[in-house]
Amino acid sequence: MKILIKGGRLIDPATGRDEVGDVAIATGRIVGLGKVPADFAADREIDARGHVVAPGLVDLAARLREPGHEHEGMLESELSAAAAGGVTSLVCLPDTDPPLDEPGLVEMLKFRARKLSRARLFPLGALTRGLAGSVLTEMVELTEAGCVGFGQAEVPMADTQLLLRALQYASTHGYTVWLRPQDAALGKGVAASGAVATRLGLSGVPVAAETIALHTIFELVRATGARVHLCRLSSAAGVEIVRRAKADGLAITADVSINSLHLTDVDIGYFNPAMRLTPPLRQGRDRDALRAALADGTIDALVSDHTPVDVDAKTLPFGEAEPGATGLELLLSLTLKWGQERGLSLANTLARVTCDPVRVLGDALGSLSSSAGRLVEGGVADLCVLDPEAQWRVLPEALKSQGKYTPFGYADTGMALPGQVQATLVAGTVAYQRQATG
Amino acid sequence: MNALRIDAEALYAELRRAVQPHLKPDTALVGIWSGGAWLAERLKQDLCPDAPQGVVSSALHRDDFSARGMAAGSDATRLPFSVDGRPILLIDDVLYTGRTIRAVINELYDFGRPASIHLFVLVDRGGRELPIEPSFAAAKIALPPEQRLSLMRNEAGRFEFTVQEQS
Amino acid sequence: MLSRRNPQLNSHGELIHLLSVEGLPKAVLTQILDTAGTFLSVNDREVKKVPLLRGKSIFNLFFENSTRTRTTFEIAAKRLSADVINLDIARSSTAKGESLLDTIANLSAMHADMFVVRHSESGAPYLIAQHCAPHVHVINAGDGRHAHPTQGLLDVYTIRHYKKDFANLRVAIVGDIVHSRVARSDIHALSTLGVAEIRAVGPKTLVPNDLREMGVHVFHDMKEGVRDCDVIIMLRLQNERMSGGMLPSASEYYKSYGLTEEKLALAKSDCIVMHPGPINRGVEIDSQVADGRHSVILPQVTFGIAVRMAVMSIIAGNEA
């Protein structure tokens, strides 16, 4: 189908393009950008006047809960949530049930996602079988099936010998290993160590759980030359260690979740289970350090960390509640909110969820890497039409995701969020368009 | 309508005259908190300085707890004598529905079995909702239900009545 | 984030649940203490019962076992003429996999008026208070490490009974404070009532420096910690502390942190010694001290019943 997006403000964070113009789309690609060929006969027009046209968002961490966990989220609902959130590519974590440690599971997941024609799915494979931390997975086979990297999700690898070998093996083939820096024994608490956890009598996770893990990972990276992506930094001390490691030239990248970027442990309030998250929410100065690090590039990407959790698993005492919050439909708004608070341009702000995550994925995206997360004439037509000025209230019942738990619900915060998606296109197909309400 | 003025001191004099013949060697004067307690104190000073005297509160046996909740304020029962077998003169300022008296009698029974309880009040304003009658009332005054009659005691220790409208 | 109303108070600022001492205004604490005084005298009467909660059903939900605490709540409820039902949750439906909230919903359907809840997870009573029917009141009998508000209240009642005025008091809490809900409730109550100084005394593994954020002075040397104190509250040492790598042995703990006559002599001469019970003789406290003239450990138990009667009657009389 030929689509013409008319009159939008075209923003391409990768090049800094920021100008009003049209976008012509045909056979899943952008065939005209800015000025459109006069003889372009669109089958469908999207009026983007007064709106921004940006590359579709690339989310490096979302859980879709399939295979397994179907009661918490089905591919259909979660990919619809992604589309409603302007997300056109997402990386899903391997901690499904069963974990993504078999090529067949990965193939099936990709096949089903393709049929739904919503976001592009880039699965992370399990680093070890069953995520059990003892036997390596068939990383070559898994990569052929479509995995873009390998990780352990939230399951720490206490055996440093094995982690060393896994990194060596992955680096043999140039695969990136995605690791959550959290020490197995120190990371068992349910809230971040500090005044709030002490007052509330919750078992704490000290900052050392993150810093020790980071030091361990960096030593192993130095020893093996492996490429590592650090998932979900949470502390000022951790940020500092990453900054120095990058200055030393280590091949590492890092992300931070929308939750850690905006919230602190004080937000736990009266044991609100929506605040039960991993990593746990830390203190104000940690949040400030994360915000600055995302701005100066120490942290490369912002992720939704989308984790749908069932009502039954959340209506439990805080320490027993399952960690996680919904996030795909909030990623854009929380990115814009961060950018506004730092006084950054729209292009600079959106880079954190478009071209920068693509840079993290690197070669794993294959030919897509030249145009995903960007507006390129001749490149893939993965786009998001958005209204950066619109304010909306997060009402859990109205979310498309089956995960209804969010710390940003209007009932809790009394605050509306900026930025609303008007339309999302993936491979030139309209995956989502906002219904005009009165 | 003119404000109703009741001479509390004159009524007290009547009460004192009525109480005197009922005092036996082991009689105790028990005043209902707060107005009755003041009266009992003065009666003891005036008539029988050595008699046992106490204060009783209706707080723990009230029948309207569910509606009104636990009252704040220090109005605990204090009975520094044995209740068992004792003749008690129960003193109160205003007798109205009779519910306070019922609660206070239950309270006294938590301490023992008195030989007798006789009720002496300054004012009986009628409106009884329970079968309770005083042995003596210095005055009988009918008042509309919206008016609340309360005994006050000024710094000099003189008694006065106030009448307040309540919603 | 929006500041949320304290779930323990209704819109008039009256107590409808007792979940924690933290966040309760001084006036509420004082009301509870004053009312407890009234009920103390009830316990000295021939008839130790008043009809205030007649017809009300109070359910003891103890997800964590405790015969002592449960018994004092039961006595308090019965002295208010309430009907008491004890639920042995560990052996009942929850063990069969029924969720916490389903258990609560079922009990509410049996016309419960009040739940007294003890649970091993911090915050559990908040979840229950949030989800039970509006007319049902919740009293926290101890949740994880977070709070044991009736113990905190009876402890300050005890202190008020013997010391009258809180203003110039120096209070030391000794022992495993980091794991203690009693200590947290004591600290909040003492702070709100305005004592001069609260001290936390113990080894770093049990009394970490970040406790200072709760407004206490941290001491790792017990002799310095109890010096010139008016009140010493001893906490029980639990066996789990040895297996978690926090302490080598009970006898080494006793050497450094046990309350002996010798250490007690460093406190003020009229110092009172308290303990929430049950006491481990020869571990945190010497028998001579526990039974000696400074000890008010047994009166604490009596005060505990009066304080629980006060809490139940105040809460039952307030509407959500």
ipTM of the complex: 0.89
Identify all chain B residues contacting C317, using CB atoms and an 8 Å cutoff. 65-66, 68-70
Give residue B2's pLDDT: 46
- When CB atoms are compared, the residue of C4, C22, C121 closest to A317 is C121
Q: Is A305 a catalytic residue?
A: yes
Strands A417-426 and A383-392, how do they pair?
antiparallel
Determine the average pLDDT of the residues in C185-197: 97
A12, A101, A183, A305: the active-site residue: A305
Could you give phi then psi for residue A231, rounded to 5 degrees? -100, 125
What pLDDT sits at residue A73?
61
Q: Bigger pLDDT: C266 or B150?
A: C266
Q: Quick check: B140 and B127 in contact, CB under 8 A?
A: no
d(CA C145, CA C235): 13
Give phi and psi for A196, each to the nearest 5.
-65, -50
Provide the pLDDT for residue B13.
95
Q: Across the interface, do B60 and C35 touch by the CB < 8 Å criterion?
A: no
**Which site among A198, A262, A281, A393 would you substitute to test the C interface, given the most C Cβ atoms closer than 10 Å to its Cβ?**
A198
Q: Is the peptide bond before A98 cis (omega within 30 degrees of 0)?
A: yes
Structure tokens at C82: 């309430």
Nearest to B60 among C14, C52, C317 (CB): C52
- How many helical (H) and strand (E) elements, i.e. helices and strands, does chain C have? 12, 9
Q: How confident is the model at residue C111 (pLDDT cuts 50, 70, 90)?
A: confident
Question: Above 50 in pLDDT, residue C1?
Answer: no
Q: Is it the case that residue A344 has pLDDT exceeding 60?
A: yes
The DSSP code for C9 is B
pLDDT band of A66, cuts 50, 70, 90: confident
Q: What is the pLDDT of residue B59?
A: 87
Q: What is the mean pLDDT of residues C107-120?
A: 90
Pairing verdict, β A429-433 and B28-32: unpaired
Angle, alpha carbons C109-A396-A76 (nearest 5°): 110
- pLDDT surpasses 70 at A74: yes
* A123-162 residue pLDDT tens: 999 999 999 999 999 999 999 999 999 999 999 998 999 9
- A267, two tokens: 């937000």
Of the candidates C232, C234, C212, C230, which has an alpha carbon nearest to the alpha carbon of residue C168? C230
Closest CA to C112 of C91, C133, C141: C133
Q: What's C249-268 look like in SS3?
A: CHHHHHHHHCECHHHHCCCC
Q: Is there an interface between C and A (3+ Cβ pairs < 8 A)?
A: yes
The Cα A123–Cα A110 span in angstroms is 8
Report the percent of chain C where pLDDT is more than 70: 96
Measured on CA atoms in the order B101, B107, B108, B113, is the torsion positive or negative? positive
- Per-residue pLDDT averaged across C202-230, rounded? 94
Q: What is the DSSP string of C13-59?
A: S-BS-B--STT--HHHHHHHHHHHHHHHHHTTSSS----TTTT-EEE
Residue B162 CB coordination number (10 Å) = 12
Output the pLDDT for position A407: 95
pLDDT surpassing 90 at residue C198: yes
pTM: 0.88
State the CB neighbour count (10 A cutoff) for residue B146: 9
Q: Render pLDDT for A3-13 as a digit per residue (tens, 0 to 9).
A: 999 999 999 99
* pLDDT class of C144 with cuts at 50, 70, 90: very high
Residue B149, H or E segment? strand B147-153
Query: Tokens 């043999």 map to which residue?
Result: A172
Buried b (16+ CB within 10 A) or exposed e, C249-286: ebeebbeebbbeeebbeebbeebbbbbbeebbeebbbb
Per-residue model confidence (pLDDT) at position C90:
63
Q: Name residues whose C-beta falls within 8 Å of residue C47's C-beta, 6 or more positions apart in sequence.
A: B109, B110, B111
Q: Do C184 and A201 touch (CB under 8 A)?
A: yes
**What's the pLDDT band for A438 if we cut at 50, 70, 90?**
very low
Residue A72 pLDDT class (50, 70, 90 cuts): low
Span A178-195, pLDDT tens digits: 999 999 999 999 999 999
Tokens of C66: 């405790």
Percent of chain A with pLDDT over 90: 90
What per-residue confidence (pLDDT) applies to A84? 97
Peptide bond into A279 cis (omega under 30): yes
A with B: 3 or more CB pairs under 8 Å?
A: no
Task: Give one word for A34, left, alpha or beta, with left for phi > 0 and alpha for psi -120 to 50.
Answer: left
Cβ-defined contact of C46 to B77 (cutoff 8 Å): no
Chain B hits for C309, Cβ within 8 Å:
none
Average pLDDT (A201-210) is: 96
Strand partners, A65: none
Q: Per-residue pLDDT for chain B (167 aa), expressed as one digit of tens each?
A: 445 678 899 999 999 999 999 999 999 999 998 899 999 999 999 999 999 999 999 888 888 877 777 775 556 889 999 999 999 999 999 999 999 999 999 999 988 999 999 999 999 999 999 999 999 999 999 889 898 998 999 888 899 998 888 86
